[in-house]
Amino acid sequence: MRTAGASIVLVAAVVAGCSSQGTSQAPAASAVAVFEGARLITGDGGAPVENSAFIVENNRFTAVGRKGELSVPSGAARVDLTGQTVMPAIIDAHGHLGFLDMANGTMSKANFTRENYIDHLQRYAYHGVAATISTGTDIGELAYGLRDEVIPNAAIIRTVGRGLAWPGSGPNDPSRNDVPYAVTTVEQARKAVQDLAIHKPDFVKIWVDDRNGRQKKLTPELYQAAADEARKNNLRAVAHVFDLEDAKGLVRAGVEGFLHSIRDAPVDDEFIRLAKEHNIWITPNLGGINRASLIRPTGTPAWFDDPLVRETVAPVMISARTDMYEKRRTAGAPAAGGAQVFDLANTRKLHAAGVRLVLGSDTAGDSNRWIGMMTLVEIENMVAAGFTPAEVIVAATRDAAAVLRLDQLGTVAPGKSADFIVLDANPLDDIANVRKIAKVYLRGQEVDRAGLRAKWQAQWGKATPTH
């Protein structure tokens, strides 16, 4: 930022401090600020507003337009953003929170604490993410309770609670593999959904994946029962899917979205027709840190050298990933897994056909998917899969907010929550510029990125290396 006037908007954030994990975030009273001079990408798909101005009052956008054309309230603080770009804060529609210790890289149930869960939400916020959803691996009541809290310097959380899977065929990581409801009968499928309904989860998640033939998977009879029971309880159903034929069956069963795209075969015209008829949405999940198209001859992706990595990722985790890339390079192994044979091509085809694709990173699905960074890398992956930078910004903001029913988020527009990112470079020129973050504002208040960074880096020296 170019002026100190932003502090007027940030009164509550300064008082709370980044280390606070209180249950509420006080509004900034009658604070008013006008942000002027930036290139503004509103998130609605329209052309950017050059030399823009927007007013934030009581943590919401109240007016958006061009500099000099708005009626600015008397006494408003003025924040000069000349030369910078503003876009809406990001919505990540596929995550798994709580299990990863970002100080040492361990995945464990012992890590699933309120403190660690909030740490993950703050890491999302640091990278410009306003909200995410935890998809099927939440233990107990923690995530349900956090939905009702507004935590300083943290993203909003939504949750599906526990997912449903054939025993052992849910999440790959052993620390979470037994968390979903184990379902082998129609009665168990219905009972699991009934148990979930008490908590009013944001979705019911159904895993349908044989894990490359290593496991059994839910049969059509079982996932149809789960989807039907969700409908009876006024809940929306989504699915983790791998095979094309399962995807078709799940659409017919009534799921509204997929976490992962089809990875066993090229999508066909029948699936595209079904997806469009049922207004299906999909988070492609294009491989995070292993995306082959982004790997350089040196064996590492370009983003691996980004300052964001060194700011937020423990050296022990960076070292482990460096070793992995080097082993792959010297062995001549592919930079990406076998499932990625189809995912880029299928994403291109689905996008070209007009199927709804939204951002979802599968962050912290394991210790390789670093919280926050993987969200930004997935944006770059989607451009590699055929999106224009402008299109992927919409998919990562307005459209992702819509599928999570977060109506207050996703665009810079009057009445919306003032959640936005200030960038030092234009992502419409190069989507990698989403990583050049100068400031993040959530609910009208600046995220204390310096304080969060200091907290994380102080933890590194105390962590026990595990890799």
Range of the domain at 432: 4-88+411-460
- pLDDT greater than 50 at residue 72: yes
* Residue 299 falls inside a structural domain: no
What's the total number of domains in the chain?
2
Domain termination site, one of 362, 387, 403: 403
- pLDDT above 60 for 6: no
Domain with residue 82: its CATH number is 2.30.40.10
CATH number at residue 264: 3.20.20.140
What integer pLDDT is reported at residue 235 of this predicted model? 98
- Only one residue has tokens 């502090």, namely 7
Q: Is residue 185 part of a domain?
A: yes
- Note whether 177 and 158 are same-domain residues: yes
**202 and 232 share one domain:** yes
User: Rounded to 5 degrees, what are φ and ψ at 339?
Assistant: -60, -25
Q: How far does the chain reach from its first CA to its final CA, in angstroms?
A: 39
Does residue 306 lie within any of the structural domains? no
Domain presence at residue 108? yes
Measured N-to-C along each axis, helices 389-396 and 373-384 cross at an angle, to the nearest 10 degrees, of 140
d(CA 152, CA 28): 12
- Render pLDDT for 258-290 as a digit per residue (tens, 0 to 9): 999 999 999 999 999 999 999 999 999 987 545
Residue 257 lies in a domain: yes
| Domain co-membership, 247 together with 278 | yes
Burial 122-131 (b: 16+ CB within 10 A, else e): bbbbbbbbbb
371-402 burial, b at 16+ Cβ within 10 Å, e below that, comes to bbbbbbbbbbbbbbbbbebbbbbbbbbbbbbb
Q: Are 26 and 138 part of one and the same domain?
A: no
Note the pLDDT of residue 365.
Answer: 77
Is 282 in the same domain as 360? yes
Do 151 and 10 share a structural domain? no
User: Do residues 252 and 107 both lie within one domain?
Assistant: yes
DSSP element (H, E) containing 15: helix 11-16
Name the domain boundary from 403, 420, 452: 403
Nearest residue to 163 via CA among 124, 200, 137: 137
pLDDT digits (tens, 9 = 90+) for 432-463: 999 999 999 999 999 999 999 999 999 998 76
* Whole-angstrom distance, CA of residue 339 vs CA of residue 341: 5
Range 167-180 average pLDDT: 94
- At residue 467, the pLDDT reads 46
Same domain as 72, residue 185 = no
Residues 6+ positions from 123 with CB-CB distance below 8 Å: 102, 312, 371, 372, 452
Same domain, 41 and 113: no
| Percent of the chain scoring above 90 in pLDDT | 80
- Does residue 311 form part of some domain? no
Question: Is residue 338 located within the same domain as residue 194?
Answer: yes
Give the domain-ending residue among 379, 403, 427. Answer: 403
Q: Does the pLDDT value for residue 55 go beyond 60?
A: yes
One domain, residues 117 and 211: yes
Would 318 be classed as within a structural domain?
Answer: no
Lowest mean pLDDT among 19-33, 79-93, 168-182: 19-33
- The arrangement of strands across the sheet holding 129-134 comes to 90-95, 129-134, 156-159
- Same domain for 247 and 231: yes
In a domain, 388, yes or no: yes
